[in-house]
Structure 1
Amino acid sequence: MDKTELPTNVGEDSISEETKTLIFSLPSYKDSIGKLYNYQGCWYYPNTLEGVLNFQRGFKPQGTDIILASFPKSGTTWLKALTVALLERSKNRPSDDPHPLKTDNPHGLVPFLEIMLYSKSSTPDLTRFSSPRMFSTHMPFHTLQAPFKEDTPCKIVYVCRDVKDVLVSHWYFKCIYLNKEIDKSVLEPMFESLCREVGYFGPIWEHVLSYWRGSLEDPKHVLFLRYEELKAEPVVQVKRLAEFLGCPFTEEEEVSGSVDKILELCSLRNLSGLEVNKTGKTSNNLQHHSFFRKGEVGDSKNHLTAEMENKIDMITEEKFKGTGLKF
Structure 2
Amino acid sequence: MVMATSNEPDAVGPVPFKDIAGAVPLTTVSGYPSDPKLWQSFTPRRGDVVLASPPKCGTTWLKALAFATMARGVYPPVDAEPHPLVRLNPHDCVPFMEMLFAAGQGRSKMDALPSPRLMATHMHHSILPASIKDNADCKIIYICREPKDMVVSLWHFARRTQPDLLFSDTGPIWDHVLGYWNASKASPETVLFLRYDEMLRDPVGNVKKAARFVGQPFSPAEEEAGVVMDVVRLCSFETLRNLEINRAGEVGDWASYMTPDMARRLDAVVDEKLRGSGLSFA
TM-score by length of 2: 0.80
Equivalent residue in structure 2 for 1:112, among 90, 93, 96: 96
> Does 2:255 align with 1:325?
no
* Structure 2 match to 1:214: 183
Pick the aligned partner of 1:231 from 184, 197, 200.
Answer: 200
Q: 1:164 pairs with 120, 143, 148, which one?
A: 148
Is the CA contact (8 Å cut-off) linking 1:167 and 1:191 kept in structure 2?
no
Q: Where does residue 138 of structure 1 map in the other structure?
A: 122
Distance apart, 1:256 and its partner CA: 2.1
Summarize deviations over 1:224-259 as a string: whole Å, max 9, x none: 111111011212111111111111112222222222
What displacement does 1:152 show? Answer: 5.3
For each residue in 1:263-282, what CA deviation from the matched residue of structure 2 results, as whole angstroms up to 9, or x when unmatched?
11111121124xxxxxxxxx
**Residues 8 and 321 from structure 1, CA distance in 2 versus in 1: closer, same or farther, beyond 3 angstroms?**
closer
The TM-score normalised by the length of structure 1 is 0.70
Structure 1 residues 247, 193: CA separation in 2 closer, same or farther (over 3 Å shift)? Answer: same
Counterparts in 2 of 1:259 and 1:221: CA distance versus 1, 3 Å: same
Once superposed, what is the RMSD of the aligned Cα atoms? 2.7
Where 2:193 maps in the other structure, the secondary structure is strand
Tell me what 1:316 maps to: 270
Q: Among residues 303, 316, 319, which one is paired with 2:257 in the alignment?
A: 303
- Matched length: 254
Q: Are 1:192 and 2:169 an aligned pair?
A: yes
Structure 1 residues 293-319: Cα deviation after superposition (integer angstroms, max 9, x where no partner): 265221211321112211211111001
Residue in structure 2 matching 1:263, options 232, 240, 257:
232
Give, as a single letter, the amino acid of the residue that structure 1 aligns with 2:191: V
Describe how 1:21-36 pairs up with structure 2 within 5 A.
none
- d(CA) in 2 for partners of 1:214 and 1:290? 29
Corresponding residue SS for 1:131: coil
Distance 1:265 1:120, change over 3 A: same
Contact 2:51 2:119 in 1 (8 A): yes
Change (3 A) 1:127 1:73: same
The SS at the match of 1:85 is helix
Q: Distance in 2 between matches of 1:174 and 1:54?
A: 23
Check if 1:49 corresponds to 2:10. no
Is the 1:61–1:152 contact (alpha carbons within 8 Å) kept by the matching residues of 2?
Answer: no
Give the AA of the match of 2:185: L
Q: Partners in 1 of 2:231 and 2:199 — Cα distance?
A: 13
Q: Give the counterpart letter for 1:209 in structure 2.
A: L
Q: Which residue in the other structure is 2:82 paired with? A: 98
Do the aligned partners of 1:54 and 1:119 also contact (CA within 8 Å) in 2?
A: yes
Give the Å deviation of 1:143. 1.2
The answer (yes or no) to whether the contact 1:62–1:152 under 8 Å persists in 2 is: no
Give the deviation of 1:8 after TM superposition.
Answer: 9.1
Judging changes above 3 Å, is the alpha-carbon distance between structure 1 residues 97 and 53 closer, same or farther for their aligned structure 2 residues? farther
Contact 2:151–2:170 at 8 Å: present in 1 too?
no
SS of equivalent residue, structure 2 residue 222: helix
- Between the aligned partners of 1:134 and 1:313, the Cα distance in structure 2 is 34
More relative contact order, 1 or 2 (CA 8 Å, 6+ apart): 2
Distance 2:125 2:34 in 1: 15
Task: Specify every segment of 5 or more residues in structure 2 that has no aligned partner in the other structure, as ranges.
Answer: 1-25
Q: Which runs of 5+ in 1 are unaligned?
A: 1-5, 11-42, 198-203, 274-288
Max Rg structure: 1
Q: Give the 3 Å change call, closer, same or farther, for CA 148–167 of structure 1 in structure 2.
A: closer
Partner SS for 2:114: coil
Secondary structure, aligned partner of 1:126: helix
Q: Which amino acid aligns with 1:293?
A: R
Structure 1 residue 53 displacement after superposition: 3.2
Secondary structure at 1:58 match in 2 = coil
Share of identical aligned residues, percent? 40
Conservation of the 8 A alpha-carbon contact between 1:66 and 1:156: yes
2:108 pairs with 1:124 = yes
Q: Which residue of 1 aligns with 2:47?
A: 64
Q: CA deviation at 1:205?
A: 0.4
